[in-house]
Amino acid sequence: MAKKTTKSSAESEETRLKKKVAERRTAGKTSEGTAAFRALRKRLKREQRRRRSLALRKKHAAGSKTAAAPAST
């Protein structure tokens, strides 16, 4: 069964991944070419892509409803 995540947990996941990537990058011990670092960056990019696509879906779903409402009244 798929887990439902809330918006706040998705944002915290993204910020947590950002911190981990920044931490590893500044530590210097992990080069950018290692598999673990690449996987971490992939997860971060996936979360960002998920957030952006959700925002775009909501924007498209709203459509011209907001623009049409003031014009009709």
* Domain boundaries of the chain, sorted by first residue: 13-62
Question: Is it the case that residue 5 has pLDDT exceeding 90?
Answer: no
**Cα(57)–Cα(10) distance, rounded to whole angstroms?**
16
Instruction: List the one residue out of 51, 40, 33 whose CA is nearest residue 16.
Output: 40
- pTM of the full structure: 0.65
List the alpha helices (DSSP H) in 1-73.
7-27, 35-62, 65-72
pLDDT tens by residue, 21-51: 999 888 876 666 789 899 999 999 999 999 9
Question: Is it the case that residue 3 has pLDDT exceeding 90?
Answer: no
